[in-house]
Amino acid sequence: MTVQEKPPHSLAGLQRLARESAFRQEVLLILGLLVVFVVFGATLPEIAGLLALGLVLVATEALNTALEVLVDHLSPGWSAWAKDAKDLGSLAVACVIGAVVLYSGIVLIW
């Protein structure tokens, strides 16, 4: 895959991800926190930190969604390994959300 081919694939991935309600909620979380950061006078590096964590959250959600799509394809019925895979992907997203909340708390409280 060349550099020229990546934007169309990335755009298609973003369009697919936008169909996920979790992704839309996470974007709203980051946008809401961005407004709060600006209102409370956060510095540009603090805002950049929030946006960087927001990108990490989007990337993690994209990987989690890809994992779920593959698991659903490989195991249409219930299976322990499919449940484990989905639970672990969900945990990864929860950890990044925790990091966003922790970072925001530190910036807004101190």
| Catalytic center residues | 61
Q: Are 97 and 82 in contact (CB under 8 A)?
A: no
Question: Which CB contacts under 8 angstroms, 24+ apart, belong to 3-12?
Answer: none
Q: Answer for the pair 26, 56: CB distance below 8 angstroms, yes or no.
A: no
